[in-house]
Amino acid sequence: MALTSAPLTLPVLPLDDEVVLPGMVVPLDLNDADVRAAVEAAQAAARSSGGSKPKVLLVPRIDGTYANTGVLGTVEQVGRLADGDPGALIRGRSRVRIGAGTTGPGAALWVEGLAVEETVPDPLPGSVTELVKEYKALATNWLKKRGAWQVVDRVQAIDDVSALADNSGYSPFLTTAQKVELLETADPVARLKLATEQLREHLAEQDVAESIAKDVQEGVDKQQREFLLRRQLEAVRKELRELNGESEGEESDDYRARVEAADLPEKVREAALKEVDKLERSSDQSPEGSWIRTWLDTVLELPWNERTEDAYDIQGAQAVLDAEHSGLEDVKERITEYLAVRKRRLERGLGVVGGRRGGAVLALVGPPGVGKTSLGESVAHAMGRKFVRVALGGVRDEAEIRGHRRTYVGALPGRIVRAIKEAGSMNPVVLLDEIDKVGSDFRGDPAAALLEVLDPAQNHTFRDHYLEVELDLSDVVFLATANVLEAIPEALLDRMELVRLDGYTEDEKVVIARDHLLPRQLERAGLKGDEVTLDESALRRLAGEYTREAGVRNLERSIARLLRKVAAQHELGERELPFTVGEGDLRGLIGRPHHVPESAQDPAERRTAVPGVATGLAVTGAGGDVLYVEASLADPETGAAGLTLTGQLGDVMKESAQIALSFLRSHGAELELPVGDLRDRGVHIHFPAGAVPKDGPSAGVTMTTALASLLSGRLVRTDVAMTGEVSLTGRVLPIGGVKQKLLAAHRAGVTTVVIPKRNEPDLDDVPAEVLEKLDVHAVTDVRQVLELALAPARNGAAEEVPVAA
């Protein structure tokens, strides 16, 4: 860039807050005094110099200050403007640097100036060509957006770098300051760079503005549409209701209002409202709608903020337990301790349990009908809490505990959630009944789900698959019941504090019947308390001969049956009330007893009336029981040799039969038994009640005794029952369930019991009144058992050996 040496003398045409760049053609209003003065001065000068077009210097005047660069303009035409005012059309030509003021014709201001010479490298370097391309692309982009299609070609046709940059003067988005900057940038390449920059910035701003505008517009549209659709939906629903003859009032379907009105925890409310949104969008008939409604009903019915106040008066609790259950002193003591510890921990803000084995859950283990369930109910009474029972028997599906995912057809919440709903409070006593009967299979492991329910570290955020919102179970008191300890899944057992209920003695049953069962059944039979009484001998007989069980369930049934009979007889006018039922009346009322003890049977009718049958003691799911073992030898001519076992025996029991046989084979001679028979003839051992599966090692002594009886021909004493595992050398090893077995022996009228020596300490648990009536022998060797159990030999007994058919 260089300045020419010849100065120009020109009249100034001030442009107020406006810029004209070279190449632009602008119409100017001649009513403006400054414009007219400049144009007239230029015309005068042109006339005097002869020929050429009148020239002016277009100088931007910003806030009254002139820029230091102007543009030489030629007056192209003078005439009328579009609005009818007189005007001049002026074309910008080239940049002029303004010098000193001078004089000239007319009223205009005259200055001297030097033309600015512009040089552009020739040929253009690559970077500049690129720049030209970019500028043209941006300008085209912008022009197309504005719909100025006809201008696009014109811009594309400009090849001169300087002219291209100056074309920006037309851009309406540039501020005056930006245009002045373009004007004062003399170097064409720098100017094009500047113009490109300005254009690019503008386009970017425009993009942002456009996308914001678009978003806003879309949001508004969606809201409006949704609003309209909802209104339409409401109208359609209303019309449908009217068609179906339902009145407006029946519309309890307003879930939104119900959710708003319900006292739900914040998270639950959010989830519920989301579902309401979905519901309002779904049609009345769609299955999804009905699923959502069921779900919302479930959520609304849960007692989210309901809680009962605990009655933490330990003495009072003890009184409740005592009033509702006779006997069971140690069990009630354990429960009272549990409540007391719980109370202290809560008072000290320690939470419910200490560690993993804190015994968060009391498990009541024992045979049916001993009052496990009703004790659970008493615990709830004692604590002043609601009570719910969850039956787990036969639950094999994890979803039973934790619910089905809602994507399943007919999905339901799990039993825990249903229990809370049923309880109507968030802190009930929940009894997990028959926890030993949960199994696992391909549908998952319910025990694992239970574990989560019982774990204090996890159960404050229990998640049911159906509910999908968290439920706080930490305030629930869980109790469990089980018949068989061994069947409780190991991991669950770990969380539980065991309380055993082994069954009742006859005396205890009589008390329970008198104090609890009879009053309750009298009421059920619609009889007044004093109208029917059962004297003690009758109750005893009912417990001893009409029922044989560890608990009192059948006893209660028998009493109920008896009372119904009496009530019916009274109604038929056959019996006067009040009436006292004595021992002798039972047979007339409810028939003959089913469980006459063996010892009371005719000797020839007894099971042990033939050699080869011995009485054992066992523990089954129903408590302790007596069981018989039968042994026979096959005919040496026709029967196969070897050992046959029947009666649904488990593996352990089969093995103990093998052991009994091996022991007798090797030690029979010293016992003076004809062991040759054991080698040559097949042996069959059978356990009657063949349909009931049995297992365990504790029938070892009984099998040995039965076999010895068979070989020797000596009968087994009817009044003797036995239990104990036998080793190959004949030692008697300890077994479990002594208390239950002795209670059963006592029930069955057995008077002599043989147990392993090592089980002697267990006798402490057996009620004194039972021990009194039993002659208990603790032995270490099976020979002692045989000595005690086998009756003396009779003459010719050997011929009586029975032969299996």
Ligand X SMILES: Nc1ncnc2c1ncn2[C@@H]1O[C@H](COP(=O)(O)OP(=O)(O)OP(=O)(O)O)[C@@H](O)[C@H]1O
In angstroms, give the least distance from the CB of 770 to ligand X.
Answer: 16
Among 4, 224, 232, 374, binds ligand X (CB under 6 A): 374
Residues 6+ apart with CB under 8 A from 84: none
Enumerate residues 61-120 that contact ligand X by CB under 6 A: none
In angstroms, give the least distance from the CB of 430 to ligand X.
Answer: 15
Nearest to 493 by CA among 356, 372, 376: 356
Binding mask 302-341 vs ligand X (x if CB under 6 A, - otherwise)? -----------------------xxxx-------------
Asked if 509 touches ligand X (CB under 6 A), the answer is no
CA distance 670 to 211: 107
How, if at all, do strands 683-686 and 579-581 pair?
A: unpaired
Enumerate residues 708-727 that contact ligand X by CB under 6 A: none
- 8-state DSSP, 608: G
Tokens of 648: 């649904």
The answer to whether 280 and 226 are in contact (CB under 8 A) is: no
Smaller CB distance to ligand X: residue 95 or 516? 516
SS3 category, 330: helix
Smaller CB distance to ligand X: residue 496 or 699? 496
The answer to whether 94 and 72 are in contact (CB under 8 A) is: yes
Query: Which CA distances in Å does 405 have to 270, 281, 410, 462?
Result: 19, 22, 10, 15
Asked if 741 is an active-site residue, the reply is yes
Smaller CB distance to ligand X: residue 488 or 552? 552
Stretch that binds ligand X, among 197-205, 365-373, 708-716, 736-744 (CB under 6 A): 365-373
CA distance 426 to 476: 7
In angstroms, give the least distance from the CB of 573 to ligand X.
Answer: 32
Strand intervals (E) in 385-454: 387-391, 429-433
Among 370, 454, 510, 786, binds ligand X (CB under 6 A): 370
Stretch that binds ligand X, among 111-119, 371-379, 667-675, 781-789 (CB under 6 A): 371-379
Smaller CB distance to ligand X: residue 280 or 497? 497
In angstroms, give the least distance from the CB of 498 to ligand X.
Answer: 15
In angstroms, give the least distance from the CB of 441 to ligand X.
Answer: 23
In angstroms, give the least distance from the CB of 558 to ligand X.
Answer: 13
Smaller CB distance to ligand X: residue 376 or 682? 376
Tokens of 44: 């005068």
Residues 6+ apart with CB under 8 A from 33: none
Among 373, 632, 702, 718, binds ligand X (CB under 6 A): 373
The answer to whether 633 and 680 are in contact (CB under 8 A) is: no
Smaller CB distance to ligand X: residue 327 or 446? 327
Q: Is 552 annotated as a binding residue?
A: no
Residue carrying the six token digits 């068609």: 243
Residue carrying the six token digits 């009962």: 308
Nearest to 646 by CA among 683, 619, 608, 598: 683
Backbone conformation region of residue 258, classed left if phi is above 0, alpha if psi is from -120 to 50, else beta: alpha
Enumerate residues 545-564 that contact ligand X by CB under 6 A: 551-553, 556
Binding mask 6-45 vs ligand X (x if CB under 6 A, - otherwise)? ----------------------------------------
Nearest to 180 by CA among 93, 75, 71: 71
Sign (positive or negative) of CA dihedral 433, 439, 444, 448: positive
Strand intervals (E) in 352-502: 361-365, 387-391, 429-433, 462-463, 470-471, 477-482, 496-500
Q: Given 193, 509, 739, 741, which residue is catalytic?
A: 741
Q: Given 326, 558, 698, 712, which residue is catalytic?
A: 698
Shortest-Cβ-distance residue relative to ligand X: 371
Smaller CB distance to ligand X: residue 317 or 721? 317
Smaller CB distance to ligand X: residue 276 or 512? 512
Residue carrying the six token digits 């001969």: 545
Enumerate residues 512-531 that contact ligand X by CB under 6 A: 512, 516
Residue carrying the six token digits 């879930």: 255
Tell me the site size for ligand X, rule CB under 6 A: 19
Nearest to 494 by CA among 507, 502, 485, 503: 485
Asked if 681 touches ligand X (CB under 6 A), the answer is no
In angstroms, give the least distance from the CB of 480 to ligand X.
Answer: 11
CA distance 682 to 680: 7
Q: Is 668 annotated as a binding residue?
A: no
Among 22, 87, 368, 697, binds ligand X (CB under 6 A): 368
- 8-state DSSP, 516: I
Q: Is 113 annotated as a binding residue?
A: no
Q: Is 289 annotated as a binding residue?
A: no
CA distance 367 to 362: 16
Smaller CB distance to ligand X: residue 174 or 550? 550
Asked if 437 is an active-site residue, the reply is no
Q: How many helices (H) and strands (E) does the chain have?
A: 27, 26
In angstroms, give the least distance from the CB of 320 to ligand X.
Answer: 13
Query: Which CA distances in Å does 693 have to 595, 607, 709?
Result: 22, 21, 25
CA distance 174 to 194: 12
Q: Is 367 annotated as a binding residue?
A: yes
Smaller CB distance to ligand X: residue 135 or 504? 504
Which backbone phi and psi does 2 adopt, to 5 degrees?
-145, 160
Among 54, 369, 403, 611, binds ligand X (CB under 6 A): 369
Query: Which CA distances in Å does 459 have to 222, 345, 462, 474?
Result: 42, 18, 5, 6
Sheet of 720-722, strand order = 643-646, 683-686, 623-633, 613-620, 720-722, 752-756, 775-779
Stretch that binds ligand X, among 59-67, 369-377, 583-591, 728-736 (CB under 6 A): 369-377
Stretch that binds ligand X, among 144-152, 368-376, 588-596, 768-776 (CB under 6 A): 368-376
Stretch that binds ligand X, among 103-111, 310-318, 364-372, 766-774 (CB under 6 A): 364-372
In angstroms, give the least distance from the CB of 236 to ligand X.
Answer: 54
Tokens of 49: 């110099």
**3-state SS of the chain: helix, strand, coil percent to 5?**
45, 20, 35
∠ CA 494-496-497, nearest 5°, is 120
Binding mask 383-422 vs ligand X (x if CB under 6 A, - otherwise)? ----------------------------------------
Smaller CB distance to ligand X: residue 553 or 757? 553
Q: Is 351 annotated as a binding residue?
A: no
CA 482 to chain centre: 25
Stretch that binds ligand X, among 367-375, 413-421, 737-745, 764-772 (CB under 6 A): 367-375
Enumerate residues 431-490 that contact ligand X by CB under 6 A: 481, 483
Residues 6+ apart with CB under 8 A from 475: 307, 426, 427
In angstroms, give the least distance from the CB of 496 to ligand X.
Answer: 16
In angstroms, give the least distance from the CB of 552 to ligand X.
Answer: 5
CA distance 444 to 399: 8
Smaller CB distance to ligand X: residue 398 or 433? 433
Asked if 371 touches ligand X (CB under 6 A), the answer is yes
Stretch that binds ligand X, among 362-370, 379-387, 625-633, 748-756 (CB under 6 A): 362-370
In angstroms, give the least distance from the CB of 324 to ligand X.
Answer: 7
Q: Summarize the annotated binding site as residue ranges.
A: 366-373
Question: Annotated binding residues for ATP, as ranges?
Answer: 366-373
Q: What residue ranges bind ligand X (CB under 6 A)?
A: 325-328, 368-374, 481, 483, 512, 516, 551-553, 556
Catalytic machinery residues: 698, 741
